[in-house]
Structures are given as C-alpha cells and as structure tokens.
Amino acid sequence: MDLGHFSARYTATIVTVAEHQGLDRNWLLQHLALDEAYLKLSINRVPSLRVIELLHTIIAATGQPCFGLMVGDSFKPGTFDILGLAAMCSNTLREAVLLNHRYQPLNQTLGVSRLEEQGAHAAVVWTPRLQDPERLRPVTEAVMAGYAGIGRWITWHAQQPLLKMEFRHHAPQQTQDYERIFGCEIEFGAARDAILVERSFLDTPLQQADEVTVRVLRRQLDFRLQSLARYESVRHQLAGYLQSQLAREIPSLQRASRALGCSERTLRRRLQQENTSFREILDDVRRICALEYLQRGELELADIAQLLGYQDQSTFTHAFRNWFDVTPGIYRKSLMGGRP
C-alpha cells in the first residue's frame, strides 16, 4: 500500500511553522533527509509517511499537541501556488472547492476531498488512505484548518459561517485552539472528517472572480497534473512490486528492475532523480504495511514479521522501535485503547 506524497511547497510550510515555534530549520531538514534546495522546487515530492513522522517529531519537540492546526491556520492562497490563485479567481466558493478537489494531487495524495450536498447543508469530506485517525491527527488538523482559513480569505468573510466540524480522532485535552479556529460545534470521534456549511454559502460570489485568468491557470494546472503522473510512476510501481513480494522474499534491485521493464542502471538513475532509493522505498513500504497489519487483531506479531519479509519477530520489533520509538505490541494496545 502506498500512502502517496506531499508537495515540496506544502512540506516547506510545515518546516517554516515549526521554525517559528523555535525549532532549528536544519534539524528539521535532517529529519526529512532533504536539503533546502529540494524544498524550493515545486515539482518535488516528499513521501507522506515521512511528513507524518516529521509532524509527530515536531509535536514532541515543541509540546504543541495541536501543531497541525497551526500549520493549517498559516495557509494562504499563495501557499498553493497557481492553484491558490485559480481558487481566488473562481466565480463562486463552490467552483473554488471543486477546483481544489480536481487538482488536489498537486499538493498531496495522502487523501482525497469530496463535496457532498444534501438539502440545506453541504460538507467537504476528507478521506485519507491511512485509516489510523490518531496518527493522522496533525495532517487532518492542517487540512481542515486550511479549508476554513482559505474559505474565509477568498470570500472575504472574517467569520465564515461554519455549522459543524467532524473529526475521527479523539478530543485533545485542551480544545481552545479548535474553538478559536473553527468557531462552531465540534464533534470528535466522528465517523468521518468533514466541514459542514449552509449549502447556500457555496454560491457566495468571489470578489476577485476572473474567468479568463482561471481558464489560463487551468491549462497550467492540467500540464502539472500530467507531469506529476509521469513523476509518480516509478516510485509507485516499485512500491507496489515490493509489497507484493515481501511475504516471499526481498527482491534485489536487479530483479525489481526486470519486473518494471527497465535496466538496473535506469531504475537507480530515476530513483535518484526523485531523491529516493531502493532501500528507502523498501523501508517505507514495510513501515506502511506494518501500521496497516497491526490494526488487524487476527494477525500475530510473528505473522506480521513474516509478511514484511523479516527473519523473525525480534528483528521486526527492533525495526519498528527504530521507526516509531515504541514496540509494535505497545502500538497495537494504544490502537485498541483509542489513544495515539
């Protein structure tokens, strides 16, 4: 299972907000295993799992449990480059929302948003690929706070009339930041992650509407989507192939290149162009699968170790502790108890 990626610009925003909280920027980049130059190129991508791990590292280092809200609250249309400008120049809020949904992969592919309209109400629903709501808490906070803030920004409504917020994760000990940012009823432990508004609010005309500008920008956005699809192919194909082979054996780079229909040299070069490597993708696949398998109560830890291609349970436990600073057994118990 592949969890997708975040754009370099999105990731750079997270780093900048953390820097404003007193963390050293170079230290943050070291955790991402990236340099400043990489984050400055909009086409570059950062694996979702690495971004999630960074967010939890920042929360631990700053003592800010709602750091994701800080990130989302910092979002402005310019954060999202020409997509943000196109949203501002849309005719109505509904058009801006639908535009964002179409081009969302340019910012992140960890999850997808959809617009649901029923009766007098409408909801923007966020559905991530990873189903662990507690681990995804900072990402979900950023996504939803971003929707609320940018909605206010482009409609010029200082107090956007939100009806309700729904979050799958449990309530934090302190909810003041949620109340300040959203200013409406908030339900934690809900069945979905969603932001609810009056349906009529979607028809709010935007003050900077410009159909010609949107038409020009959409052509650029379509081109970027096509470029992104080409960019993704090698990483996604390799991740999918490795996942299919883990339970049997760990394939070599040579064998993987044959399976993907290219030479070993070509595969290595294309991975280097994406600032990743065979070993890094193998590690990411194992981490993602480990999190998914641990949610299945019927799988013993020894079974999971085998499915991930480890020789024994102790080797798997050692690897998991290195990834998440906790043993797989304790992590599974936290899931059962509904705690992060």
Give me the CATH number covering residue 274: 1.10.10.60
Same domain, 161 and 20: yes
Q: So what's the pLDDT on residue 18?
A: 98
Q: What is the pLDDT of residues 26-35, one digit of tens each?
A: 999 988 888 8
Least confident of 15-19, 188-192, 202-206: 202-206
Residues 81, 166, single domain; the answer is yes
Same domain (yes/no): 95, 200: yes
Is the per-residue pLDDT at 304 higher than 90? yes
Same domain, 59 and 23: yes
For 185-196, what is each residue's pLDDT tens digit? 999 999 999 999
Domain total in the chain? 2
Using CA atoms, how far apart are residues 77 and 193, in angstroms rounded to an integer?
22
Q: How far is Cα of residue 78 from the mean position of the Cα atoms in its chain?
A: 19
Q: Is the pLDDT of residue 172 over 60?
A: yes
The per-residue pLDDT for 337 is 54
Give the pLDDT band (50/70/90) at residue 302.
very high
What band does 339 get if pLDDT is binned at 50, 70 and 90? Answer: very low
- For residue 242, give its domain range: 231-336
Q: Judge whether 110 and 48 are in contact, CB under 8 Å.
A: yes
- pLDDT band of 340, cuts 50, 70, 90: very low
Kindly state whether residues 25 and 137 are assigned to the same domain.
yes
Average pLDDT estimate for 81-105 = 93
Q: Are residues 14 and 163 in the same domain?
A: yes
Residue 225 lies in a domain: no
Give the Å distances, CA to CA, from 44 to 76, 248, 251, 327: 20, 33, 27, 33
- Check residue 35 and give its pLDDT: 80
Whole-model pTM? 0.74
CA pair distance 138, 175, nearest whole angstrom: 14
Q: What's the rounded mean pLDDT across residues 121-135?
A: 93
